[in-house]
């Protein structure tokens, strides 16, 4: 996959879930009717567009950042809008509504290993359908949407395109905007119904191994927890067969894998972080996505995109909130010199 000439379009537009995460650091996740102690509490960003845009702003990217979606007319909504303005993110398409509260998530993070459990209020995100976006007037190069399966209005069926989200992606592509999608990890059978129709109008599909497996029907984790690299490659190929136009990227704790429309495969292992480094895993997937989108916007080759994604994810892991650990791009990429990559799994035949 060779670099393509960059168009006159510039910047990244991210739309979808705008969430405030209330992160509780707990000593243990309790059984029903049992008690756990909250040792600390932090508040941070949540949702694909919020996390990705803040990560990119903290990295210091030089291209413009645009926000799209809905928040409530309440204190949390104003907090999000002010946070975006402080990070120089254009909010003209991030509207406030009185019809629903700002979405929030209680994130229960276990101190000993960083594992998280989520209690989510969808709020205003459930109402946004993207009809306010005029892609012919917007100058962004890439439109990133997430998370499918957690955006009620966009997940609705559409007679012509399959889903409202697919229609939105088609409008963006028709205007010359590259499209990118992310999906929420949920335990359901809705993936084929909601995710698959959108893939015909997606240039870049960036999912984790759970989401890729549920969308395509491949079991990417073996019974012992090991990554099945054969199934991983089959899933990437299936996503391309479903219509993804340019690139499929699948990320997982061990690293990232990319397959191009031409059938080129690329693998980059995650950094081998020391014991005690990980303060929380919330936002690591969006951080990886931000690094990949940075590279795609700049026309980088897939290995460089994956390596950057791994570094941004590693930075994110250093803080219990989704975006608090991300620093400048220079400092973030320096993590690759400080920590060695994990060993690659056995290659698939």
Cα separation, 268 vs 315, in Å, equals 16
CA distance 14 to 30: 36
Asked if 21 contacts 104 with a C-beta cutoff of 8 angstroms, the reply is: yes
- Side by side, the strands of the sheet bearing 103-110 are 38-46, 19-26, 103-110, 116-121
pLDDT at 24: 93
pLDDT confidence bin for 1, thresholds 50/70/90: very low
Establish if 183 belongs to a structural domain. Answer: yes
Is the residue at 49 inside a domain? Answer: yes
- Picking from 135, 180, 155, 130, the residue whose alpha carbon sits closest to that of residue 290 is 180
**Is residue 349 over pLDDT 80?**
no
Q: What is the pLDDT of residues 260-308, one digit of tens each?
A: 999 999 999 999 999 999 988 889 999 999 999 999 999 999 999 999 9
Partner residues linked to 344 by β-bridges: none
Q: What is the largest CA-CA distance in the chain?
A: 59
Is 208 a member of any domain?
yes
Q: Where are the alpha helices (DSSP H) in 156-269?
A: 164-174, 191-199, 209-216, 229-241
* Residue 48 pLDDT: 98
Output the average pLDDT for the chain: 95
Q: What is the CA radius of gyration of the chain?
A: 19
Is the per-residue pLDDT at 14 higher than 80? yes
Q: Tell whether 325 is covered by a domain.
A: yes
What's the predicted TM-score (pTM) here? 0.93
pLDDT of residue 6: 56
311 falls within a domain:
yes
Question: How do residues 95-152 score in pLDDT, each as one tens digit?
Answer: 999 999 999 999 898 998 878 898 999 999 999 999 999 999 999 999 999 999 999 9
Residue 337 domain-assigned (yes or no): no
Residue 340 domain flag: no
Domain count for the chain, please give it: 1
CATH number, residue 18: 3.40.1190.20
Concatenating the DSSP letter of every residue in 59-91 gives: HT-SS-EEEEEEEESSHHHHHHHHHHHHTT-EE
Dig out the tokens for 6 from the structure. Answer: 């960059």
pLDDT in tens, 177-219: 999 999 998 888 899 999 999 999 999 999 999 999 999 999 9
Q: How many CB atoms lie within 10 A of CB 308?
A: 26
Residue 3 falls within a domain, yes or no? no
Q: By residue range, what is the domain housing residue 288?
A: 12-332
pLDDT over threshold 60, residue 2: no
């Amino acid at each position: 996959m060779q670099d393509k000439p960059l168009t006159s379009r510039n910047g990244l537009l991210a739309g979808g879930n705008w969430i405030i995460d209330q992160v509780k650091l707990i000593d243990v996740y309790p059984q029903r009717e049992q008690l756990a102690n909250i040792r600390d509490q932090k508040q941070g960003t949540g949702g694909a567009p919020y996390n990705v845009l803040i990560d990119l702003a903290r990295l210091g990217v030089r291209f413009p950042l645009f926000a799209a979606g809905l928040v409530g007319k309440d204190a949390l909504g104003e907090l999000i809008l002010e946070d975006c303005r402080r990070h120089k993110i254009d909010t003209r398409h991030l509207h406030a509504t009185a019809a629903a509260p700002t979405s929030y998530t209680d994130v229960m993070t276990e101190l000993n290993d960083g594992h998280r459990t989520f209690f989510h209020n969808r709020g205003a995100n459930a109402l946004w359908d993207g009809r306010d976006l005029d892609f012919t007037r917007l100058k962004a190069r890439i439109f990133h949407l997430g998370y499918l399966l957690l955006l009620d209005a966009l997940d609705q069926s559409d007679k012509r395109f399959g889903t409202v989200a697919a229609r939105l992606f088609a409008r963006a592509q028709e205007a010359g905007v590259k499209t990118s999608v992310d999906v929420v990890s949920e335990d359901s059978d809705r993936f084929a119904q909601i995710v698959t129709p959108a893939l015909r109008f997606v240039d870049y599909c960036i999912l984790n191994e759970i989401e890729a497996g549920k969308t395509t029907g491949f079991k990417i984790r073996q019974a012992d927890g090991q990554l099945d690299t054969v199934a991983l490659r089959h899933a990437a190929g299936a996503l391309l067969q479903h219509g993804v136009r340019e690139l499929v990227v699948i990320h997982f704790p061990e690293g990232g894998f990319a397959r191009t429309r031409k059938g080129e495969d690329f693998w980059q292992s995650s950094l081998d972080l020391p014991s005690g480094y990980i303060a929380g895993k919330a936002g690591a997937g969006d951080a990886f996505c931000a690094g990949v989108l940075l590279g795609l916007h700049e026309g980088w080759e897939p290995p460089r995109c994956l390596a950057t994604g791994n570094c941004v994810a590693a930075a994110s892991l250093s803080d219990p909130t989704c975006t608090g650990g991300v620093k400048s791009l220079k400092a973030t990429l320096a993590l690759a010199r400080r920590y060695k990559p994990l060993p690659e799994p056995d290659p698939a035949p």
